[in-house]
A and B are shown apart, each in its own frame.
Chain A
């Protein structure tokens, strides 16, 4: 025993002794708190609360802010419109097929009002589903030759609820720079990675897709769960030109991304039967994963819809925020939409008439001195932009506003395209 004890080296015992003393010191010392330095007394807190002054809830708006004074329209907003007391020919509303004034549509809406009243008093899940809604959904699906359609009660909310239902945090979305504001809000709500490509530039998009492919090869596990989407519009509202859909479909199969197509301006306008950009190009509609449109332009009603395969659309019935948490579309508006669809199906010639008129206007406006015409010949909504900008957006806007006023004097109603300057990602020039 003696020998084993003396065998333990002295430095070992000393080291262990120091260790034990260190542990005892640590156990009894005060814990180091990061916020120790921030402890404020009650008096100091009260003082801070007294001193704090918030900003006013909203910044004051000057009385002559251009967007403040609305033009008041009395009477129905159809081909002849009465703005501020003056009757003008209406070149400002999105009434492409002229159905705002149609007697048949109004009669159907009236009949629906007499049967169902005005409001639905509930969301779709809780006795807010009317047979009119189901009928409209099946008619839209049949018209667009897809499996299923879903209706929203507000056009803006349609694509803004559809995108976040599929694309979550960590997914990647490739969007055109000229995407409209509701798409931007949908992208913001989805919290995914957004990659913008130059307007209608397929090479730029391909470059981005290739980069993403390289990323995927570096990290295959993550790539297997990252969904990728391309969001484009059929007819862009900001530039009035059309997206190159066949090339997009090629890119889709090459890089395995899904396509969401927003057809607000092109539904009921392009294509032989008005089915939109897919019919215009002859693309198989099953190649597009989701088509979203609002019924507020050609189909002169209110609301929006999405159509596509059941696999895709059914998901929105439980996870589309604007669908589940909001009251359904008033039945009279749905009935008006059904009647408008009836008219569109019965008389496919109106689309040819519309295209002819668009071409006519396009040719007539092309030579205007000082103004540049933005858009394709068959676009029903065209932009007139100043050829030479004066450098300041405000003075450009004022010049355009005086142009609009001058036209109003001449009994032609035009409108300034409105944008929220601070919120838009890529602000289009004044037009």
Chain B
């Protein structure tokens, strides 16, 4: 049957969390997430769509092979024709035949600040997306629902930009040395102290790239003989870091605490595979907000489990730092928990702070990383103006610069999120994720609609992000909106009306559990009533 499930509260089946705490007391506020199931007809049509595309793909490959159709793909050099081929044909089947058709929805170049409104460079293709040429025109004032600009710090005026400009003229742009050699500027030290204060932990360390932070520091924390329990939908950087560390990796179902507990129990009881020696340590790797689902990790339960089983927790707050919580301190703040409970807090500066780079923070951990992290020894340190941007924006969020701008932005973001999600749900779209997460995936399902949605929205001057396979499961392609504190109510309303228009045009309003519209709206025959659980 097709019921969706509103996950309010779940009781852990084992008596692990010893009787004292019923799970309801772990959550201080309602935790509402929903992942409506795919309607059966839509699933069937989607599979059919992919099937037809695959058949056409084989046909086109056949025509290209026999030179009936002109081939646009780049070719190997004549001299190297007898080398082992660099790519296997079937590896690129998907890229050649499906991705190429709708390629114009990605890699759209912009030529302004990636703020709430941006300017896109117009591109035209005369050979069905194999090559692009720039017409030279600029599409102005496109509403930006794609950039990760949660608190609106992507701006070229204001105190952040001014201080960054000052530092550029004073320090220059590059550093040309690693942290351990001569790359450690006084600004780096100040920034790290500030990050530690912001998160409420003992100390922090910053790195030049968020992806590299994960892939270079997880190997320093876990090694052979350790176990990493990672969520199904973890980001590629976490997966790469776990692989490079050499530990055993076990995956638990997404946000499923029973699955995690079962794995923990099995691991401790049975020990390492084959030798049954006890594990050296167990590291649970989760993210704050999962960017493809819009779901928030069940942090109180994970912490309760971690404490009971003595595992360590690695929390990747790439999207949630600055975007969640009444003070903008991330998912720990959102649940009102103690930051000391999380062993390793990791995050990035790209999303909410308008800069670049990542950080790791924790207790008693940073001395080890300063001497043993791959990045500190071999990679160049961060650029001074980027560091300055982080310092200024963080001070603004904390309120230390004397204004209330930071607090205001955090509040605005929360308000925008709740409003946008409510309106989208009322219109009848299927939205995944938690009610409070500013990342909003809207389901499209069918492959043709991915391309159509992106193009129709651009025609109406709104820039959105669409994602399909392989970033998502094959039939669950979606459009993803990222709400920003810089979006005004007008922009949101305009975006919503356009989304509704395009949704009607492409028949995207799949949801069968529409919220009853408010009485102010006229009665509409097409509205379904709420189904009782």
Residues of A within 8 A of B (CB): 38, 40, 45, 48-49, 52-55, 57-61, 65, 67-68, 70-78, 81, 83, 90, 92-95, 99-102, 105-106, 109-110, 113-122, 124-131, 133-134, 153-157, 166, 180-182, 185, 188-189, 223-228, 253, 256-258, 286, 294, 296-297, 300-302, 309-312, 314-315, 317-318, 321-322, 324-327, 329-330, 332-333, 336, 413, 415-416, 418-420, 423
Distance between B171 CB and nearest chain A CB, rounded to angstroms = 5
In chain B, what residue has the closest Cβ to A422?
B372
Cα separation A384 to B465 with both chains bound (whole Å): 53
Contacts of A294 on B, CB cut-off 8 Å? 380
Interface flags for B435-473 (1: CB within 8 Å of A; 0: not) read 000000000000000000000000000010100000000
Besides A127-B144, A128-B114, A256-B84, 14 other A-B contacts (C-beta < 8 A) = A76-B172, A77-B185, A83-B182, A109-B168, A119-B354, A119-B356, A120-B356, A129-B109, A154-B212, A156-B209, A156-B380, A302-B382, A302-B383, A327-B350
Residues of B77-110 contacting chain A, CB below 8 A: 77, 79-80, 82-88, 95, 99, 106-110
Q: A57-B312, A296-B380 are in contact. Are A48 and B269 (CB under 8 A)?
A: yes
Contacts of A57 on B, CB cut-off 8 Å? 221, 281, 312, 343-344, 364-365
| Segment from B233-241, B295-303, B500-508 that makes contact with A | B233-241
Contacts of B95 on A, CB cut-off 8 Å? 318
In chain A, what residue has the closest Cβ to B365?
A58
Distance between B16 CB and nearest chain A CB, rounded to angstroms = 9
Q: A110-B169, A153-B209, A296-B176 are in contact. Are A54 and B311 (CB under 8 A)?
A: yes
Contacts of B240 on A, CB cut-off 8 Å? 189, 321
Distance between A215 CB and nearest chain B CB, rounded to angstroms = 14
Residues of B within 8 A of A (CB): 74-77, 79-80, 82-88, 95, 99, 106-115, 118, 121, 144, 146-149, 153-156, 160-161, 164-165, 168-186, 189, 208-212, 215-216, 221, 235-237, 240, 243-244, 265, 268-270, 278-282, 309-312, 343-344, 348-351, 353-356, 364-365, 367-372, 374-380, 382-383, 385-386, 389, 463, 465
Cα separation A54 to B311 with both chains bound (whole Å): 8
B355 in complex: contacting residue of A118, A122, A312, CB < 8 Å: A118
Cα separation A95 to B181 with both chains bound (whole Å): 13
Q: A54-B310, A119-B154, A126-B465 are in contact. Are A110 and B168 (CB under 8 A)?
A: yes
- B82 touching A70 by the CB < 8 A rule? no
- B370 touching A420 by the CB < 8 A rule? no
Of the listed residues A59, A116, A121, the one surrounded by the most CB atoms of chain B closer than 10 A to its CB is: A121
Cα separation A253 to B80 with both chains bound (whole Å): 8
A122 in complex: contacting residue of B114, B156, B176, CB < 8 Å: B114
The 9 A-B residue pairs with the shortest CB-CB distance, nearest first, are A300-B174, A154-B209, A58-B368, A326-B211, A156-B379, A311-B74, A67-B371, A70-B184, A121-B147
Q: A109-B173, A226-B84 are in contact. Are A77 and B182 (CB under 8 A)?
A: yes
- B172 touching A134 by the CB < 8 A rule? no
Cα separation A157 to B209 with both chains bound (whole Å): 9
Distance between A98 CB and nearest chain B CB, rounded to angstroms = 10
- B208 touching A301 by the CB < 8 A rule? no
Contacts of A325 on B, CB cut-off 8 Å? 211, 235-237
Contacts of A109 on B, CB cut-off 8 Å? 168, 173, 385
Distance between B176 CB and nearest chain A CB, rounded to angstroms = 4
Cα separation A342 to B84 with both chains bound (whole Å): 39
Cα separation A40 to B266 with both chains bound (whole Å): 11
Q: A126-B465, A185-B374 are in contact. Are A121 and B149 (CB under 8 A)?
A: yes
Contacts of A310 on B, CB cut-off 8 Å? 74
In chain A, what residue has the closest Cβ to B279?
A54
- A182 touching B147 by the CB < 8 A rule? no
A127 in complex: contacting residue of B146, B177, B344, CB < 8 Å: B146
- B171 touching A315 by the CB < 8 A rule? no
Contacts of B183 on A, CB cut-off 8 Å? 73, 77, 93
Contacts of B84 on A, CB cut-off 8 Å? 223-228, 256
- A326 touching B210 by the CB < 8 A rule? yes
- A77 touching B86 by the CB < 8 A rule? no
Q: What would 26 A/B residue contacts be, using CB atoms closer than 8 Å? A: A52-B268, A54-B282, A68-B367, A76-B171, A77-B185, A83-B182, A100-B175, A118-B386, A119-B389, A121-B154, A121-B354, A122-B148, A127-B118, A130-B109, A157-B212, A189-B240, A189-B243, A227-B85, A286-B77, A314-B74, A315-B87, A325-B237, A327-B209, A329-B356, A416-B181, A420-B378
Contacts of A156 on B, CB cut-off 8 Å? 209, 212, 216, 374-375, 378-380
Cα separation A101 to B384 with both chains bound (whole Å): 13
- B182 touching A113 by the CB < 8 A rule? no
Contacts of B186 on A, CB cut-off 8 Å? 72-74
Cα separation A118 to B164 with both chains bound (whole Å): 8
Cα separation A50 to B389 with both chains bound (whole Å): 47
- B211 touching A55 by the CB < 8 A rule? no
B310 in complex: contacting residue of A40, A52, A74, CB < 8 Å: A52
Distance between A376 CB and nearest chain B CB, rounded to angstroms = 21
Cα separation A420 to B180 with both chains bound (whole Å): 11
